[in-house]
Amino acid sequence: MMKRTLAGIPLWLLLLAPWLALPSPALATGTSAGVDIRATATAEYSIGDSRSSVTSNTAIFRVDQILDVTLSWQNADHRPVGSPDSDQVLSYLLTNTGNGDDSYSLSVENGLGGDQFAPEFVDIYLDADGNGLLDPEFDTLYITGRNDPQLTADAARVVFVRNNIPADLHDGDLGSSQLNATSNTGSGAPGTTFDGAGNNGITAVVGASGGTDGATGSYQVSGAGVSLLKSVAIVNPLGGEQPVTGALMTYRIEVTVSGTARANGVVITDSIPANTSYVPASLTLNDEALTDAADGDAGDVGDSRADTVTVDLGDLNPGSPTRIITFDVLID
Amino acid sequence: MKPLLFFSSILLLALFSAPLLAEITLTTVAETEVTEVDARGEEIVRRTRANRVVPGSEVIYTITAKNSGAEPADNVVVTNPIPEQTVYVDGSAFGAGTEIIFSADGGKHYDAAGQLTVKQADGLSRAATGEDYTHVRWHLAFSLAPGEEAPVGYVVRVK
């Protein structure tokens, strides 16, 4: 009796299964360049009582090389940078979506629209060790025309672009950088042909990508750190520092800017604590009195926002002196 | 029999037999369509021998059966395996006065489009589509007269 598995599949078939299950090569882009496709027809017919057959010629055509490429930016989000900052890396994935071997020349375009600053191009590296991380010691500095990345059909490679970030940018500013890759075999309007330019001298045809692609990556200045230090001093009319009814509390907020970028439009708000009352005309900034009304000076109490102290400090540069805000409340 | 006479007889036999062996000739042609704009700015679709073929291109196969003999040929059946690296374009098979059937199992079984099924990986069957077809077959419903040609064909898309 034949040995059977639980599923009733003959054992020999199961042993064969790993080979049957071998995936066909993942040809996302289809038939390889240079493949000959052959077709031969046959016919059978009767003349009188005799049945005969005949075979046609074999019609052959060759699959040309299609030139297609895609680039995609790999960073998950804007790369956070300081201002100034140097050698900031953006990662891209270059994929040969054509059906033959190709090489690509790379270039970087900065000064694109729709952003607040233009990164300053430094260099391009090819991910030689394939770990997806730029390590100038192990990866290859790209030199146009000298070491253009070569990719077989469907192969991909990580490309790094390094830019410097200009000084005096504002927190939140965006800067874009575009990497372009163009097929060295040929590019242009889709359908353009290059006789003999393909692998082994076959015809190359520009695909839907035009044989070129670009991808834009971006930086965002996030080097500005605004830190607040809040403290309170209590003066009890009965003596001591117990926060009892009638006690005077002086709040003190110290504002410091750290990091490398300018902090834009810094507004400090602090709500008057519950069960306390603001002491009129007690608001100060850097030891100078501010009126309680929203007027020419930097602060107000309750006007910009109800029951809240609001002080507009404007733009703060890294290294600006600490701003000190104080105000008094009485415990109800 | 003298050797010379023997060879002459063979030669004569061959001469007479040759037309009998090639009563029907079969020609396969692969073509692509090119859209061109003429002097009046109108688009003309021209067929040329297959060139500029890349993945995704459509190629038109035309198989012409010609009766080169002196007798009419009956029950003419033309079969064409769909070439490797290509898929049959649904609804593309043509052939005036022919019954067109397909195989989706390497030519073991033929049926009309829409009647074929293929086994899926899970063991269940589903209707076969053009992508599953392995062969196209034409049954000529008429008798091919001496000198008459019957063109049939279909379109494939290169994978």
Q: Determine contact: A233 vs chain B, CB below 8 A.
A: no
Q: Is B77 exposed, middle or buried (0-12, 13-18, 19+ CB in 10 A)?
A: buried
Test mutation, A55, A56, A66, chain B, max B CBs within 10 A: A56
pLDDT of residue A316: 82
Shortest CA distance from B27: residue in chain A: A56
Check: CB of residue A300 under 8 Å from CB of residue A292.
yes
Q: Determine contact: A19 vs chain B, CB below 8 A.
A: no
- Among B26, B59, B74, the residue with its CB nearest the CB of A54 is B26
Q: Determine contact: A59 vs chain B, CB below 8 A.
A: yes
Q: Chain B closest CA to A129's CA: distance in Å?
A: 32
pLDDT of residue A7: 42
Are A41 and B23 a contacting pair at CB < 8 A?
Answer: no
Q: Per-residue pLDDT tens for A134-149? A: 999 999 999 999 999 9
- Among B52, B84, B85, the residue with its CB nearest the CB of A205 is B52
pLDDT of residue A224: 65
Q: Chain B closest CA to A72's CA: distance in Å?
A: 23
pLDDT of residue B57: 93
Q: Determine contact: A24 vs chain B, CB below 8 A.
A: no
List domains and CATH numbers for chain A.
66-221 (2.60.40.10), 224-331 (2.60.40.740)
pLDDT of residue A27: 43
A237-264 burial, b at 16+ Cβ within 10 Å, e below that, comes to eeeeeeeeeebbbbbebebbbebbbbbe
pLDDT of residue A34: 95
Output the furthest CA–CA distance in chain A (Å, rounded): 132
Residues of chain A with pLDDT under 70: 1-29, 223-224, 259-261
List domains and CATH numbers for chain B.
23-158 (2.60.40)
Test mutation, B52, B54, B76, B86, chain A, max A CBs within 10 A: B54
Are A41 and B53 a contacting pair at CB < 8 A?
Answer: no
Q: Per-residue pLDDT tens for B51-85? A: 889 999 999 999 999 999 999 999 999 999 999 99
Is the confidence at residue B7, as pLDDT, over 60? no
pLDDT of residue B91: 95
Range 136-155 of A in CB contact (< 8 A) with B: none
Structure ipTM: 0.83
- Among B24, B73, B83, the residue with its CB nearest the CB of A38 is B83
Q: Per-residue pLDDT tens for B99-117? A: 999 999 999 999 999 899 9
pLDDT of residue B90: 95
pLDDT of residue A164: 97
How many angstroms separate the CA atoms of A252 and A325, rounded?
A: 6
- Among B26, B50, B69, the residue with its CB nearest the CB of A56 is B26
Q: Determine contact: A207 vs chain B, CB below 8 A.
A: yes
Q: In one letter, which amino acid is B64?
A: T
Instruction: Name all contacts of A125-131 with Cβ < 8 Å and 24+ positions apart.
Output: A125/A159, A125/A160, A125/A162, A126/A157, A126/A158, A126/A159, A126/A160, A127/A157, A127/A158, A127/A159, A127/A160, A130/A158
Tokens matching residue A193: 């042909």
- Among A29, A45, A59, the residue with its CB nearest the CB of B73 is A45
Q: Determine contact: A9 vs chain B, CB below 8 A.
A: no
